[in-house]
Structure 1
Amino acid sequence: MADATLDILIGGGGYVGLGAAVAIKDAAPHLTIALVDAAPEGVWMKDQRASAIAAGASRMLDRLQIWDAILPDAQPINDMVVTDSRTSDPVRPVFLTFGGDVEPGEPFAHMVPNKSLVGALRQRAQDLGVEILQGETVEDFTRTGPHVDITLGSGAKRRARLLVAADGVRSGLRDKAGVKTVHFDYGQSGIVTTVAHERPHGGRAEEHFLPAGPFAILPLKDNRSSLVWTERTREAENLLKADELVFETELEQRFGHKLGTIEVVGGRRAYPLGLTLAREFVRPQFALCGDAAHGIHPIAGQGLNLGFRDIAALAETVVEADRLGLEIGSLAVLERYQQWRRFDTFRMGVTSDVLNRLFSNDHAPVRAVRDLGLGLVDRMPGLKSMFIRQASGLPGRDGPRLLRGQPI
């Protein structure tokens, strides 16, 4: 066991696990880090989804020498429009518009293919000397004094000063640690696919609030758009089973004809939607990160960016503790990370929950009130700028330095 002692072992090989490994290793190269990725080799290359990366996250990725590898595939979001209508309405009036820059020449977000993001993170992690245990799992772990003794699925043993759980919203590591969650199932599923269209989108993102849930059109390179289409779970299941003609007819009814002829060019998949918040983010020698700590509705497009904020906060907490000679896995150290992230996560979870409940219905009085509210916001530039600043993920004065593009 002594020969296999690590400073940090991270469970989860997605963008959060990789990002945490890179952020810590970049600032503290002497720390030994291993990452356990349960997925088979190369499976990330098959991911056809795309994600919105806010300005704060892109600044962090630039600081970590990753952004240049992603940039050729990144589509800036230049502006955004919000509508509220029924699926059958012939016209969808625009109630709210947002400009896309947080600073001159800096969009508040980019759309990036997931495989480009994960590929760049994996390459940087390997360049820094992070050990990636592919096709491996964490079978069990126990705390032994200032260490965690870890048994891997292969039977191998590891010991670490800190175990980071970044294994998704259904985190097995969170369950093994005994951390309880608050969970609500919305009875909705998010259908994700990609379409090609005849006319250019101009970098415009659109969010159409429909009775079953939001229908988001997010711009990609090469006259393509990524769709996040919220439907009631049963209807989503029927749509996935439907033949191409039925699926594309339903899709076109929601997408409209403004960009000309559309064609589905990516696979269609659906994911159950709910709200999951961990009651604790840390235990001695143990920390939750990303969706293992919080899973929220995609209505605000902030799920991935909450994970990046976790990365920035955890990396700064661990690296500064190490520089001071403190035990990086002690509860006293990890409490700073929890205090940093808990309120922001709770606030965003509540915000997405309220927005989904407010807009995923067809009650006439509710519709009238929310449309009035959207119209008022559209006429208040100061309030719109505040919303854009929030969506950009840029921190305040006391926020993690990586999100400002500064070194730890």
Structure 2
Amino acid sequence: MSDAARDFDVVVVGGGMVGAAFAAALSGKGLSIAVIEAREPARDWPEGEIDLRVSALSRASQRILERLDIWSRVQVLGSSPYRHMHVWDAVGGGEIHFDSESVGQADLGHIVENRVIQLALWESLEQLDDVTLFCPGAISDIERERGRSHLLFTDGRAIECGLLVGADGRDSLVRSLAGIETEGWDYGQRAIVANVRPAEWHQETAWQRFLPTGPLALLPLADGRCSIVWSATDARAAALMALDDQDFSNALTDAFEARLGRLTVEGPRAAVPLRLQHAKHYVQHGLALIGDAAHAIHPLAGQGVNLGFLDAAELVVALEHAIGCGRDIGGLWALRRYERSRRGDNMLMLAAMDAFKRLFSNDHPAISAVRSLGLEVTDRVKPVKRLFMTRALGLGVDLPPLAAP
């Protein structure tokens, strides 16, 4: 390895929401940290403009951002609490309703634009003396030897580290160059994202209707609009994307049963291909994967970034433990602690969301009747319903310190 390369204890490839949160959480532990990101987040945007990409943050994710001292900045930039969740089946007609008051909470979570979360985290990183930002920056290759990584930039620069953290998304270059295989499958679906204005108030409710071609979700925004995530088969998504705004709004209103009156699309639309993907290993000597680099999940429950934040928090716990014991932070003794704490839980969540997707995409009359009955029964049996809500809110006890109540 080159003697000229700058040396860091930890290098994070990917300064998006999860990678930035990890770097911020690791700061102050006596380590030198580098974050490599292709582009800076947007610093400002036109008033009234809503980004197409939003996240439904759980209470656990909110606590992480609070403890990183950036939640107040997120609120200034813009967040939208939701207090209810209403889910129903298009074929069988079963429904279930969740209310934050029933579990003694002010809300069920917050809808926040991804760019808001990333900007708040990025501003925090810029103030940290132990974090060096390489932005714009992109790597072309990684040379690894005895657990150490030598990273080559596309512009010829090079840096080295004892621990390389891949937070570079579901098409992770770090994971690919490390030779870590994934398992999973394409869903043959695309998620159409857009912002719409309902004729009636959204009631601070996250709405979801399960259609045979995929779920349709409406997420409430503070200004009265809603962000939609409409998952549909590739053919159906292509047909919907080809419609003009008026016809798309008509199709959307029909698909939603006009529960909030007419839904009028405002601004652009985008369609993202969906797949389930899980890394066979999260760690190697001197390397760890977090967030979408480790797992990609169907968006029907909005759990992607929440799982990623928990990855980041658990990896910090593992590294703190190694530091406290005088062990190598890049050693498998430390990193397997992280993998054990997260891979099983993530696998269960991926499997659960996959099962929901398959169950509600089936329009066989018998299956439709059973699942609708299940929704109705769950809605009436309060202990079961409360269990679902506790899990979704991130109120469980088995959480890393950054996320724990």
- TM-score with structure 2 length normalisation? 0.93
Aligned to 2:90: 85
- Could you tell me the percent identity over the aligned residues? 37
Aligned to 1:19: 21
Secondary structure, counterpart of 1:38 in structure 2? coil
Unaligned runs of 5+ in 1: 87-91
Change in CA separation of 1:247 and 1:125 when aligned onto 2, cut-off 3 Å? same
Instruction: Give, in whole Å, the separation in 1 of the partners of 2:238 and 2:385.
Output: 36
Instruction: Give, in whole Å, the separation in 2 of the partners of 1:43 and 1:186.
Output: 35
The range that moved more, 299-308 or 50-59, is: 299-308
Instruction: Give, in whole Å, the separation in 1 of the partners of 2:60 and 2:44.
Output: 24
The range that moved more, 211-220 or 100-109, is: 100-109
Instruction: Give, in whole Å, the separation in 2 of the partners of 1:295 and 1:39.
Output: 22
CA contact 1:102–1:108 (8 Å) conserved in 2: no
2:58 maps to 1:51: no
Could you give the per-residue CA deviations for residues 9-51 of structure 1, whole angstroms, max 9, x where no partner exists? 11112101111111111x42x3111111123664996943211
CA contact 1:38–1:134 (8 Å) conserved in 2: yes
2:112 maps to 1:112: yes
Aligned to 2:200: 199
CA contact 1:149–1:160 (8 Å) conserved in 2: yes
Query: What is the count of residue pairs matched by the alignment?
Result: 397
Aligned residue identity for 1:292: A
Secondary structure, counterpart of 1:401 in structure 2? coil
CA contact 1:16–1:289 (8 Å) conserved in 2: yes
Secondary structure, counterpart of 1:201 in structure 2? coil
Deviation at 1:373, TM superposition (A): 0.9
Deviation at 1:400, TM superposition (A): 0.7
Aligned to 1:354: 355
Aligned to 1:278: 279
Secondary structure, counterpart of 2:268 in structure 1? coil
CA contact 1:55–1:106 (8 Å) conserved in 2: no
Aligned to 2:377: 376
2:404 maps to 1:404: yes
Aligned to 2:180: 179
Please list, as runs of the form range in 1=range in 2, the aligned pairs for 1:211-290 lying within 5 A after superposition: 211-290=212-291
Aligned residue identity for 1:39: R
Secondary structure, counterpart of 1:268 in structure 2? strand
Secondary structure, counterpart of 2:403 in structure 1? helix
Aligned residue identity for 2:200: R
Aligned to 1:89: none
Deviation at 1:257, TM superposition (A): 3.2
Deviation at 1:102, TM superposition (A): 8.0
Deviation at 1:149, TM superposition (A): 1.4
Unaligned runs of 5+ in 2: none
Aligned to 2:81: 76
The range that moved more, 11-20 or 386-395, is: 386-395
Change in CA separation of 1:201 and 1:321 when aligned onto 2, cut-off 3 Å? same
Secondary structure, counterpart of 1:229 in structure 2? strand
Secondary structure, counterpart of 2:258 in structure 1? coil
Could you give the per-residue CA deviations for residues 73-103 of structure 1, whole angstroms, max 9, x where no partner exists? 22112011111115xxxxx955211112586
Deviation at 1:108, TM superposition (A): 2.9
Please list, as runs of the form range in 1=range in 2, the aligned pairs for 1:29-178 lying within 5 A after superposition: 30-39=30-39, 42=42, 47-72=51-76, 73-86=78-91, 93=93, 95-100=95-100, 104-129=104-129, 130-178=131-179
The range that moved more, 207-216 or 247-256, is: 247-256
Secondary structure, counterpart of 1:199 in structure 2? coil
CA contact 1:37–1:133 (8 Å) conserved in 2: yes
Instruction: Give, in whole Å, the separation in 2 of the partners of 1:151 and 1:107.
Output: 46
Change in CA separation of 1:338 and 1:386 when aligned onto 2, cut-off 3 Å? same
Deviation at 1:360, TM superposition (A): 1.0
Deviation at 1:220, TM superposition (A): 0.9
The range that moved more, 148-157 or 376-385, is: 148-157
Instruction: Give, in whole Å, the separation in 2 of the partners of 1:296 and 1:288.
Output: 15
Deviation at 1:395, TM superposition (A): 3.9
Instruction: Give, in whole Å, the separation in 1 of the partners of 2:60 and 2:102.
Output: 10
Aligned to 1:188: 189
Deviation at 1:256, TM superposition (A): 3.8
Deviation at 1:197, TM superposition (A): 2.5
Could you give the per-residue CA deviations for residues 248-273 of structure 1, whole angstroms, max 9, x where no partner exists? 22112123434344322242111111
Instruction: Give, in whole Å, the separation in 1 of the partners of 2:84 and 2:348.
Output: 25
Aligned residue identity for 1:32: S
Instruction: Give, in whole Å, the separation in 2 of the partners of 1:286 and 1:251.
Output: 44
CA contact 2:206–2:220 (8 Å) conserved in 1: yes
Could you give the per-residue CA deviations for residues 297-350 of structure 1, whole angstroms, max 9, x where no partner exists? 111221111101101101111123123321111111100000000111100010
Aligned residue identity for 2:376: G
Aligned to 2:7: 5
Instruction: Give, in whole Å, the separation in 2 of the partners of 1:247 and 1:171.
Output: 34
CA contact 2:52–2:193 (8 Å) conserved in 1: no
Secondary structure, counterpart of 1:10 in structure 2? strand
Aligned residue identity for 1:82: V
Instruction: Give, in whole Å, the separation in 1 of the partners of 2:157 and 2:103.
Output: 49
Aligned to 2:309: 308
Deviation at 1:394, TM superposition (A): 3.2
CA contact 1:312–1:400 (8 Å) conserved in 2: yes
Change in CA separation of 1:212 and 1:255 when aligned onto 2, cut-off 3 Å? same
Secondary structure, counterpart of 1:338 in structure 2? helix
Please list, as runs of the form range in 1=range in 2, the aligned pairs for 1:308-347 lying within 5 A after superposition: 308-347=309-348
